[in-house]
Amino acid sequence: MNAPSNLKYTKSDEWFDPSSGAMGLSDYAQSQLSDIVFVEILVDVGDTVEAGNPIASVESVKASAETYASATGKVVAVNKALSEKPETLNSDPYGAGWMVKVEGGAVSDAMDSAAYGKYCEGRSH
């Protein structure tokens, strides 16, 4: 499982990059969903999102899931390219697969990479 150490993670499998304000779906989550075929971002630039509230809907060949904001802040960018190429979430969840970027991102109740890795290991047994 890939979990970069510079990111923060939620128990609902989203990540947040405190340096850029980007957030998205974790590598663990995309691997559980398998082949992602549809992404709809539910927020727009200028919206304020709160950690734990839905920001996107994701569908795969196996299931559908909501993606939740991993931080609270004002949306400054939305990755519209994901609707055209949803499979980007499978191939590059921490790079081109970011969903939204916020400014003033405040994180609460987020785990570091090591804690998230242990959390995911505990769920796969």
Kindly calculate the radius of gyration of the chain based on its CA atoms and give it in whole angstroms: 13
CB-based contact 70:15 (threshold 8 Å): yes
- H or E element: which one contains 27? helix 27-33
- Does 31 reside within a domain? yes
Query: For residue 57, what are the domain limits?
Result: 8-105
The pLDDT tens digits along the chain (125 residues) read: 789 999 999 999 999 999 999 999 999 999 999 999 999 999 999 999 999 999 999 999 989 999 999 999 999 999 999 999 999 999 999 999 999 999 987 787 899 999 999 999 988 64
Hey, what's the torsion of the CAs at 69, 73, 77, 80, to 10 degrees?
Answer: 20
- Whichever domain contains 13, its CATH number is 2.40.50.100
- Does 98 reside within a domain? yes
Domain count, the chain: 1
Model-level pTM? 0.93
- Does 93 reside within a domain? yes
- Does 34 reside within a domain? yes
- Does 100 reside within a domain? yes
